[in-house]
Structure 1
Amino acid sequence: MAESRAPSVIFDISEPAASLNSIRFHSDRHGNHNVHGSGFSGFKKRGHNLGSRSWIKIDHTGNSKVLELDKFTVMRHCSLPSRDLRLLDPMFIYPYTILGREKAIVISLEQIRCIITADEVILMNSLDGSVLKYKSELCRRLQTSKDQPDDLPFEFKALELALELTCTSLDSQVKELEMEIYPVLDELASSISTHNLERVRRFKGHLLALTQRVQKVCDEIEHLMDDDGDMAEMYLTEKKERREALTSSDLYDQINTSQNVRAVSKSAPVSPVGSCSGVRKLQRAFSSISSSKHGSFLSSSSGGENIDQLEMLLEAYFIVTDNTLNKLLSLKEYIDDTEDLINIKLGNVQNQLIQFELLLTAATFVATVFAVVTAVYGMNFEDSTFDNPSTFYWVLIITGAFCGILYFAFLIYFRHKKVFPL
């Protein structure tokens, strides 16, 4: 009786394990098909969600279509936290961002707000010209290079186009500002007026805002280049292939484990307690082997990350952005030089007004002296000067000569003190 019961107990333990592994195998295959197939076919449609937005989905072949998706669907599909989707929300003002996540790259540059995965780009739909240009240009490039070999992965093509359009847009805005502001500054330097000063003030505010935008893009690219871990996170195609290789190897190990357990259970009909413990030990051994293989594979792949490709891509656009920033700084220096010239001219005019005021004050003082003499003789008193009219003429002549000498004395004093050149 004991011998007849032992094989049945061992059979009952091994068969559910094999069936469970087969169920897991089929479920994993089905799950992978849903994720890597149509992209959003596995999710339920939410037609009347308050959080739904219009998105443009562009696959790796260059085909695009418009979808209505809520943020929870996008979060589940791209494995993103909610804070990353807030960066793409046009209702909030966030600095420019390029984030590398486990299965996606989140980009928020100018009006281009998108999520890049290893197979597709989910672009926030908008009527802005930058968004439409990004969509049409990306579809054109993907369809053109579909049959051509290219070493650049899909996610880097989408990232490169976003950086290219952003840098081109900022550079064109800088050129337009230069064409507008240089004539105004030259006109202001030749003729200072309130109208020209107001125009330069508006241009200077626009220049400050544009400088901040370019500086943010430059800082974001530089921050990304300084962190090798963030750049390694952006290799989505390589990580996807790595996950698929690990999944296939794990499934192979599970199948071998179930077969070995079944073989042990059929070839060793011992006591139930001993057989159960032997099966458990064997399962632990195979699980430890698979986990050690999984860890060694990840460590070898992560340790040998080659980020030169992405680093060269970012470095090229960092140089472009830095060149645009240098143009803005040169324009700001030109404005500062014009302001210094205007201040010098205004200071010169102020000095001339002060000189004129000094001359006028000296003339007023001399005239006051002459007026004092005439006022004294205008008093009602008796004097022999009034008996002879020619004598009074001599008094006026002497007083006028004295005032003239006094005025020239003031001029010589001002020249001696170098108040103004004469």
Structure 2
Amino acid sequence: MERRQPAPQPPPPRRKGAVASREWLVVPAAGEARTREFGKHQIMEMTGLPARDLRVLDPLLSYPSTILGRDRAVVVNLEHVKAIVTANEALVPNPGNPLLRPFLSDLHARLVFPDLPSTSPATDRGTDTEQSEGNGPTLAAYRSGSVKFLPFEFKVLEVCLEYTCKCLESETLALEKEAYPALDELTSKVSTLNLEHVRQIKSRLVELSGRVQKVRDELEHLLDDDIDMSEMYLTRKLTFQGLSESLGMVDSNKDAPIDHDEEKEEEDHDDETESGRESSVYIKPNIEELEMLLEAYFVQVDGTLNKLYNLREYVDDTEDYINIMLDEKQNQLLQMGVMLTTATVVVTAGIAVVSLFGMNIHIDLMKAAETDEEARIKNMKFWETTWGTVAGCVVIYLLAIYAGKKSKILQ
């Protein structure tokens, strides 16, 4: 009899929200911002980013400040600011976060009221025609070279850097206002409450210094790497793609019947086109404007870091001063202990003398006086012995203290 195999179990029901969509604020280059929900795979298709880059924006994971330049997008993770910037729009996750309200208002103001571009009169012709080609005024301006302005991705990046620098600067100023009075109070009065307050300030200082240092290191890394900065020119990449497509359309007309002379001229023109295409692909883009933008905020972040460094120096100086004060108190206590120990030894010597007289020994001094004269003499000898013992203890104590000061054991 064949053994029946158990029926296959149905797969467990998919947990609801396994691939949960997140709320994103879509800020286009032209138009009103709108809130939409996208899943991770939708964001990957829209921006061409791998999954590891999206983890940088995950609020459940703690990633340091990072700016990543990719083929079609720039990933920005600076403190509370997290965004994906393309050549045409910016995607901001969790727009309902109260910490992002000033950033979103600054971004809206910057895009609604952009800076006026500088136009060259000699190259104004043909600009209006090129603006209608489908990629908007940005692409047309880059093709004609008539307009010099900041691309959309750099505008958004500038707002991100500006807001981050403002937040770090405000936190630094607030910490300075709290730290300096607390440190001055600690130097005047060392107490448990003041020490605990300064300890909390120092913990906040270390944490804030690490955050500012990471932002500074990230900007320094970008400034040192021209390739990474060139990858962030998304609008320029679209321009080169549009030029490549237009050159491809010109090459498709090669097969038309022409004369030999014209064919020769056309071949020469094709060679020039091919060389121009290769040079346009491998040419190093001009990164001067991005470099100037990053350098400006690098200087600002470096200034904030210098303020924190000066505050850290002040904290260290205060700690050294407190340690010196405590060492001085400890030395005073040790000296007092030495003096008390010396006094105890001297008093012990006097007690030894008193103990000798207190022994039950039959001597003439202990006998009862028979006359008033003998009583007077014995009373006088008692006081002579008592005051002589006290004076001897005092002299021995003073000699001990003098010897200690002369040998610089006591001050």
TM-score range, shorter chain: 0.7 to 0.9
Q: Tell me how far 1:420 sits from its aligned partner.
A: 3.0
Greater helix proportion: 1
Alpha carbons of 1:252 and 1:303: their partners in 2 closer, same or farther (altered >3 Å)?
A: closer
Which sits farther off after the overlay, 216-225 or 335-344?
A: 335-344
C-alpha distance in structure 1 between counterparts of 2:348 and 2:115, whole Å: 97
Return the structure number with greater relative CO, CA threshold 8 A, min gap 6: 1
Alpha carbons of 1:418 and 1:146: their partners in 2 closer, same or farther (altered >3 Å)?
A: closer
Q: Tell me how far 1:354 sits from its aligned partner.
A: 1.0
In structure 2, the residue matched to 1:277 is none
In structure 1, the residue matched to 2:277 is 297
Note if 1:403 corresponds to 2:393: yes
Q: Tell me how far 1:168 sits from its aligned partner.
A: 0.6
Aligned residues: 350
Note if 1:75 corresponds to 2:75: no
In structure 1, the residue matched to 2:54 is 85
In structure 1, the residue matched to 2:262 is none
Task: Please list the CA deviations of residues 353-407 of structure 1 after superposition, one character each: whole Å capped at 9, or x if unmatched.
Answer: 1111111111111110000111111111112232434323322222222111100
Q: Tell me how far 1:252 sits from its aligned partner.
A: 3.1
Contact 2:25–2:95 (CA<8 Å) still a contact in 1?
no
C-alpha distance in structure 1 between counterparts of 2:393 and 2:65, whole Å: 75
Note if 1:356 corresponds to 2:336: yes
C-alpha distance in structure 1 between counterparts of 2:282 and 2:348, whole Å: 95
Alpha carbons of 1:398 and 1:413: their partners in 2 closer, same or farther (altered >3 Å)?
A: same
C-alpha distance in structure 1 between counterparts of 2:234 and 2:310, whole Å: 39
In structure 2, the residue matched to 1:10 is none
Q: Tell me how far 1:127 sits from its aligned partner.
A: 3.0
User: Structure 1-normalised TM-score?
Assistant: 0.78
Contact 2:158–2:293 (CA<8 Å) still a contact in 1?
yes
Alpha carbons of 1:152 and 1:146: their partners in 2 closer, same or farther (altered >3 Å)?
A: closer
In structure 1, the residue matched to 2:138 is none
Alpha carbons of 1:400 and 1:146: their partners in 2 closer, same or farther (altered >3 Å)?
A: closer
C-alpha distance in structure 1 between counterparts of 2:116 and 2:185, whole Å: 56
Contact 2:79–2:164 (CA<8 Å) still a contact in 1?
yes
In structure 2, the residue matched to 1:155 is 153
Contact 1:62–1:140 (CA<8 Å) still a contact in 2?
no
Task: Please list the CA deviations of residues 274-331 of structure 1 after superposition, one character each: whole Å capped at 9, or x if unmatched.
Answer: xxxxxxxxxxxx9xx79x9567524445434211111111111000000000000100
| Letter matched to residue 77 of structure 2 | S
C-alpha distance in structure 2 between counterparts of 1:130 and 1:250, whole Å: 48
Q: Percent identity?
A: 42
Alpha carbons of 1:357 and 1:294: their partners in 2 closer, same or farther (altered >3 Å)?
A: farther
Note if 1:207 corresponds to 2:217: no
Please, which runs of 5 or more residues in structure 2 have no aligned partner? 1-15, 119-147, 259-266, 368-377
Q: Out of 166, 172, 175, which is 1:174 matched to?
A: 172
Q: Out of 42, 50, 57, which is 2:26 matched to?
A: 57
Aligned partner of residue 58 in structure 1, secondary structure: strand
Note if 1:145 corresponds to 2:145: no
Aligned partner of residue 250 in structure 2, secondary structure: helix
Contact 2:65–2:215 (CA<8 Å) still a contact in 1?
yes
Q: Tell me how far 1:138 sits from its aligned partner.
A: 1.6
Please, which runs of 5 or more residues in structure 1 have no aligned partner? 1-46, 265-285
Contact 2:222–2:228 (CA<8 Å) still a contact in 1?
yes
Aligned partner of residue 92 in structure 2, secondary structure: strand
Written as runs of structure 1 = structure 2, the 5 A alignment for 1:275-286 is none
Which sits farther off after the overlay, 70-79 or 378-387?
A: 378-387
User: Structure 2-normalised TM-score?
Assistant: 0.80
Alpha carbons of 1:298 and 1:152: their partners in 2 closer, same or farther (altered >3 Å)?
A: farther
Written as runs of structure 1 = structure 2, the 5 A alignment for 1:196-275 is 196-253=194-251, 255-257=252-254, 259-260=255-256
Alpha carbons of 1:378 and 1:66: their partners in 2 closer, same or farther (altered >3 Å)?
A: same
Task: Please list the CA deviations of residues 98-123 of structure 1 after superposition, one character each: whole Å capped at 9, or x if unmatched.
Answer: 01111111100011111111111111
Contact 2:347–2:393 (CA<8 Å) still a contact in 1?
yes
Alpha carbons of 1:389 and 1:233: their partners in 2 closer, same or farther (altered >3 Å)?
A: same
Note if 1:420 corresponds to 2:410: yes
C-alpha distance in structure 1 between counterparts of 2:325 and 2:76, whole Å: 49
Alpha carbons of 1:372 and 1:350: their partners in 2 closer, same or farther (altered >3 Å)?
A: same
Aligned partner of residue 90 in structure 1, secondary structure: coil
Aligned partner of residue 30 in structure 2, secondary structure: coil
